[in-house]
Copies of this chain bind each other. A is one copy, B any other.
Amino acid sequence: MNQKKVILTGDRPTGPLHLGHFVGSLSNRVKMQDEYKQYVLIADMQALTDHASQPELIRKSILEVAFDYLSVGIDPNKSTILLQSLIPQISELTMYFLNLVTWNRLKHNPTVKQEIMQKNFQENVPAGFMIYPVSQAADITIFKANAVPVGADQLPMIEQTNEIVRKFNRMYNKEILIEAEGIVPEISRLVGIDGNAKMGKSLNNAIYLSDDADILKKKVMSMYTDPNHLKVEDPGKVEGNPVFIYLDVFDPDKENVRKMKEHYSKGGLGDVVVKRRLLEVLNSFLDPIRKKRKEFEKDPQYVLDLIFKGSVEAQKVAINTLREVKNAMGMY
Contact = CB atoms under 8 A, between A and B. Distances in A.
Given A330-B59, A331-B59, A103 B88 contact: no
B83 A102 contact: no
A48 B91 contact: no
Contacts of A76: none
* Chain B CB within 10 Å, residue with most, of A98, A100, A304: A98
Contact of A99 (B52, B59, B304): B52
B83 A128 contact: no
Q: Interface extent on A, as a size class?
A: 35 or more
A255 interface: no
Q: State the copy count for this chain.
A: 2
Interface in A106-148: 106, 123-131, 134-135
Nearest to A104: B123
Contacts of A52: 99-100, 171
A100 B123 contact: no
Contacts of A45: 95-96
Interface in A70-108: 83, 85-86, 88-89, 91-92, 94-96, 98-106
30 contacts: A48-B329, A49-B99, A50-B99, A52-B99, A52-B100, A52-B171, A53-B171, A55-B329, A55-B330, A56-B330, A59-B330, A85-B92, A85-B331, A88-B89, A88-B92, A91-B92, A94-B95, A95-B135, A99-B126, A100-B126, A101-B126, A102-B125, A103-B127, A103-B129, A104-B123, A104-B124, A104-B125, A105-B127, A106-B127, A127-B134
Interface of A: 44-45, 48-50, 52-53, 55-56, 58-59, 62, 83, 85-86, 88-89, 91-92, 94-96, 98-106, 123-131, 134-135, 171-172, 304, 308, 326, 329-332
